[in-house]
Amino acid sequence: MYLSMSNINMNVIAAAQAYIQKMIDSAPDAMKVLLLDAHTTPYLSAVSTQSALLAHQVYLVDRIDSALAPKKQEKLGHLKCIVFVRPTPDSLAHLMAELRAPRFGEYHLYFSNVLRKLALEKLAEADQFELVRDVTELFLDYLAINPDLYSLDLPPAAWPVYQGTLNEWNPNTLQRTVDGILSVCLAMKKRPIVRYACNSPLAKRLAHEIGFATGSSGEPGLFDSRSQGLAPATLLLIDRRSDPTTPLLAQWTYQAMVHELIGIEHGLVDLSHVPDIKDDLKQIVLGARDDAFFAAQMNANFGDLGFAIKKYLDEYQQRTASHATLESIADMKKFVDAYPEVRKLAGNVSKHVALTGELSRVVDAYKLLGVSEAEQNVACDPRDQTEAVWAVLRDEGVPDECKLKLVILFALRDPRAAQLPAMVQHLQALGGVGAAKVALVQHLVKFALPDPLSAAGGSGGAGGAGSMSTASVASGEMLLDRTRQLGKSVFRGLKGVENVYTQHVPKLHNVLELLIKGKLKESAFPYVDGQQQAGRRGSRVNDVIVFVIGGTTYEEARFVNQLASATNGLRIVLGGHTVHNSQSFLKQVHDTFAYSVTS
């Protein structure tokens, strides 16, 4: 079931689903085919399923760039074709080729962003058989991850942010970024009042590009508040360079841990490397949309997570025990009615037990308790941390990558620390850290910007029959006992006492707190020219759209979610070029200095 546009309520998933519903409704009561491109395929997959599409008579989903292969040239005139693509030159070329040699009875064209007049004219010329029924701009040009978290899905390797220097945009990435942010604003039905970090030349350039696009010189009528029904919202632009610490830290909440220790790619988690993993769990779907357990626990700390999964496993065992004896026709009917739900529950329990087990294994193998404590103290504790860092560096059981990140954090804390050269030499002597990675220590120091506030002075499926074997349940319980014990050791602090593993607060949180209190100084976060009066007019900030140049993190997403939940009437959506873990962030910095800028 998809939602209507009237119910999106600053929810990026709901907005995306409403757009998909609008597409599907363009050809009601008809057998349909859906053609996508490389950009829109993950957008759709993030918020819909094959079964949901089938329920709306979408019987075939294909890529428009593969639909033209000779083996697929059969005519399917009984099908109505819905095309959903990004209006790029490649996708438009494939679409025009399809229209010149049509295989379907009619076409409904949807674009994820603004379609230029020249492109529309070329499409009209290609539609020689006059089969196009409508052409619509949808503004679904983002990847919806959580209800309050989006990504432009622009991996730095393909879309480098910088060109020449750290203060210059790559022009292709800049235009794509503007398009994506405007798409989010329009999907949220918001007219942006832009504020940007004063210390970031990239944020300033992006702010002015967005200000131009949303002003009278932009696309005609696109941001006309009266005709579009747009309400104002603060668009906050910040730079990853202002906080390089957050992506480097070990994580201790469910969604963030999975991304850091295993990786989440377009809602999928690859567990194929896990020893003795079942075939049906080698790749699992992880998202809040169709997984109530994950939606409830994705921000839970690792200690609480172990107890939650044990409760979830107990629930499954109770459900299956109630169906163990079928003595009457009524019992059989109840079992058949409940069977799909029980099977789904079994698959979900299996998934989360396997996932938590792998997290627990990696925490042990990487000695993350000691490593994380040292990381947090380096990042947050003003006392001297030199000996704590050396203790980790000398521990042969700690992976070299963890040692590298700790030295980087130490360098970010004090680039002139007396022991830093010796620590770098120690890294160079390690077998698992090459020269290119050791160079990241100095690269991150150059990459980092000062704090703008101080700068301004201010469901995988289950096995057969949807059941877990007795051995699986037993091993799951043993695993959960271990996870709970580990969780107790991690989160052993008293209520109200700051825990050593979760001391760090992203800088974004401080900025947002000042913003919603009306205390964010214009010297630190200026308005785009001409928007000062509109920004000051409202005494209270209710809706905020955040974009992090260079990529955001799940830790920041958790803080944003908690801040909005604790503040009556406040709604925030967070996004960035991508969602980083430490590996992807370090690769971005490496590639930036290797290919995009001069050191």
DSSP string, 347-371: HHHHHHHHHHHHHHHHHHHTTHHHH
More confident residue, 229 or 210: 210
In this prediction, residue 533 carries a pLDDT of 66
In this prediction, residue 268 carries a pLDDT of 96
In this prediction, residue 595 carries a pLDDT of 92
Segment among 182-186, 312-316, 478-482 with least mean pLDDT: 478-482
Please give the angle made by the CA atoms of 405, 409 and 415, to the nearest 5 degrees. 125
Residue 145 pLDDT greater than 80, yes or no: yes
In this prediction, residue 220 carries a pLDDT of 67
- Which residue shows structure tokens 């994820």? 112
In this prediction, residue 469 carries a pLDDT of 42
Cα(479)–Cα(458) distance, integer angstroms: 49
Segment among 125-134, 220-229, 275-284, 509-518 with least mean pLDDT: 220-229
Cα(155)–Cα(361) distance, integer angstroms: 29
In the predicted model, what is the mean pLDDT of residues 416-442? 95
**Contact between residue 305 and residue 297 where contact means Cβ atoms under 8 Å apart:** yes
For helices 254-261 and 302-321, angle between their N-to-C axes, nearest 10 degrees: 100
Cα(372)–Cα(409) distance, integer angstroms: 12
- Fold of domain 12-140: Rossmann fold (3.40.50)
**Residue 229 binned pLDDT confidence (cut-offs 50, 70, 90):** confident
- Fold of domain 145-245+504-597: Rossmann fold (3.40.50)
Taking only the tens place, the pLDDT of each residue in 371-385 is: 999 999 999 999 999
Radius of gyration of the chain (CA): 26
Cα(466)–Cα(469) distance, integer angstroms: 10
Q: What is the mean pLDDT of the chain?
A: 88
**Residue 72 binned pLDDT confidence (cut-offs 50, 70, 90):** low
Residue 497 pLDDT greater than 50, yes or no: no
**Residue 344 binned pLDDT confidence (cut-offs 50, 70, 90):** confident
Residues facing residue 597 across a β-bridge: 164
**Contact between residue 221 and residue 48 where contact means Cβ atoms under 8 Å apart:** no
Question: Which sign, positive or negative, has the C-alpha torsion 376, 382, 386, 388?
Answer: negative
Residues facing residue 386 across a β-bridge: none
Taking only the tens place, the pLDDT of each residue in 40-63 is: 999 999 999 999 999 999 999 999
**Residue 487 binned pLDDT confidence (cut-offs 50, 70, 90):** low
**Residue 315 binned pLDDT confidence (cut-offs 50, 70, 90):** confident
Question: What pTM value is reported for the model?
Answer: 0.90
**Residue 224 binned pLDDT confidence (cut-offs 50, 70, 90):** confident
Residues facing residue 143 across a β-bridge: 151
**Residue 488 binned pLDDT confidence (cut-offs 50, 70, 90):** low
User: CB burial class (10 A; 0-12, 13-18, 19+) of residue 26?
Assistant: middle
In this prediction, residue 338 carries a pLDDT of 61
Segment among 5-9, 119-123, 195-199, 310-314 with least mean pLDDT: 5-9
Sequence-distant (≥ 6) Cβ neighbours of residue 530 within 8 angstroms:
211, 215
**Residue 316 binned pLDDT confidence (cut-offs 50, 70, 90):** confident
CATH for 254-366 (3.30.720, 3.40.50, 3.90.830, 1.20.1440):
3.90.830
Residue 486 pLDDT greater than 50, yes or no: yes
The pair of structure tokens assigned to 126 is 């290609």
In the predicted model, what is the mean pLDDT of residues 438-466? 74
Cα(185)–Cα(81) distance, integer angstroms: 28
Segment among 226-230, 246-250, 350-354 with least mean pLDDT: 226-230
In the predicted model, what is the mean pLDDT of residues 472-494? 50
Segment among 30-44, 195-209, 396-410, 536-550 with least mean pLDDT: 536-550
Segment among 55-69, 238-252, 336-350, 574-588 with least mean pLDDT: 336-350
Please give the angle made by the CA atoms of 154, 156 and 159, to the nearest 5 degrees. 60
Share of the chain above pLDDT 90, in %: 72
**Residue 154 binned pLDDT confidence (cut-offs 50, 70, 90):** very high
Sorted by where each begins, the domain ranges of the chain are 12-140, 145-245+504-597, 254-366, 368-448
Residue 460 pLDDT greater than 60, yes or no: no
**Residue 570 binned pLDDT confidence (cut-offs 50, 70, 90):** very high
In this prediction, residue 596 carries a pLDDT of 86
Sequence-distant (≥ 6) Cβ neighbours of residue 542 within 8 angstroms:
233, 569, 570, 571
Residue 227 pLDDT greater than 60, yes or no: no
In the predicted model, what is the mean pLDDT of residues 175-193? 96
Same fold, 12-140 and 145-245+504-597: yes
Sequence-distant (≥ 6) Cβ neighbours of residue 101 within 8 angstroms:
73
In this prediction, residue 27 carries a pLDDT of 87
User: Helical H runs in 381-469?
Assistant: 386-393, 400-413, 420-429, 435-438, 440-447, 452-455
Share of the chain above pLDDT 70, in %: 84
Taking only the tens place, the pLDDT of each residue in 89-112 is: 999 999 999 999 999 999 999 999
Segment among 52-56, 223-227, 439-443, 526-530 with least mean pLDDT: 223-227
